[in-house]
Amino acid sequence: MGSFLLRRLSTFVLTMAAASVLVFAVLESLPGNAAELMLGTTATPEAVAALRGKLGLDVPAPARYARWVGGLLQGRTDHSIAYDTPTAELIGQRLAVTVPLAALAMSLTALLAMAAGVYAASRQRRAGDVVVMAASQIGIAVPNFWFAILLILVFAVRLQWVPAGGFPGWSADDGGGLLPGLAALALPAVALAAVQAAILARVTRSAVLEVMREDFVRTARAKGLSRRQTLWRHVLRNALLPVLTVAGLQFANLITGTIVVENVFVLPGLGRLVFQAISNRDLVVVRDVVMLLVAVVVGVNLAVDLLLARIDPRLGQA
């Protein structure tokens, strides 16, 4: 297990290092610069050069890369060009919306997918199985931004059960609170969870069906356990490995894939911050957000690997 953990940590470090080089190189290759965008087309070359020096854009790229990575390792980030605020502060404010949104969406995904997948597997080739698989196919095919607009039209505009957009905040002093905050995230979470639940339900069904064919399942039935008891006590636990693998990837995808949905619902989350930073050519913010998303994806994969090794010790010996 120790060598397995060491290999996974080494892979994490090497992946982050390669991603930092790639992200920096791609953003550096983009045409134009932030100084020209901030000052406009009427600015003199002297003014542009002065602002480039103030922003540190006149320093050679390798030196800027070393300064950027060194700052991240020390927990220090550069100031946003558009907001003149450390990017860590901006990202922290937006994560207060994005992380609860992703967690709520993942909870809905797991709940719906496990129930639907197990139900379909227990009724293989019967009406219930056909209905669940047809619904999951529709869920995979429907774009989440279109589904988000449909949810707004039905539940916010027509029924007026929840707000159509915006976020009141988590503090009651600002007119928000826990319940208003969750109400504002309800429709975005459903829009994000629809596609992910459809995918995970199909994976769960396949995994459960595969385990149900094993000899130990027949042995459990022969000992007198009912079909339901065998399914929930023995089959589901052994079917969790592929389900957890896909679920871990989905949670990382929910964190990184909120840009469109957050803009549909006008939520002040990480996705909207990236959209605004790209519009303002605030590459400092874009660079740090992308690195954070890379760290989330790689970190979740690492956590899933360790969890799977905990469930099945044979994986830790591979």
> What angle is formed at CA 280 by the lines to CA 277 and CA 282, rounded to 5 degrees?
55
pLDDT score of 18: 92
Query: What does the pLDDT profile of the chain (318 residues) look like in tens digits?
Result: 567 778 888 888 899 999 999 988 888 776 666 666 666 666 677 776 776 676 667 777 788 888 888 888 888 888 887 777 888 888 988 888 888 998 899 999 999 998 888 888 888 888 888 998 898 888 888 888 888 889 999 988 888 888 888 888 887 776 678 888 888 888 999 998 888 899 999 998 888 888 887 777 778 777 777 777 777 777 777 787 788 888 888 887 787 777 788 888 888 888 888 888 887 778 888 889 989 888 888 888 888 777 777 776 666 555
- Which domains occur in the chain, in start order? 94-316 (1.10.3720.10)
pTM: 0.81
pLDDT given for residue 108 in this prediction: 92
Residue 262's pLDDT is 85
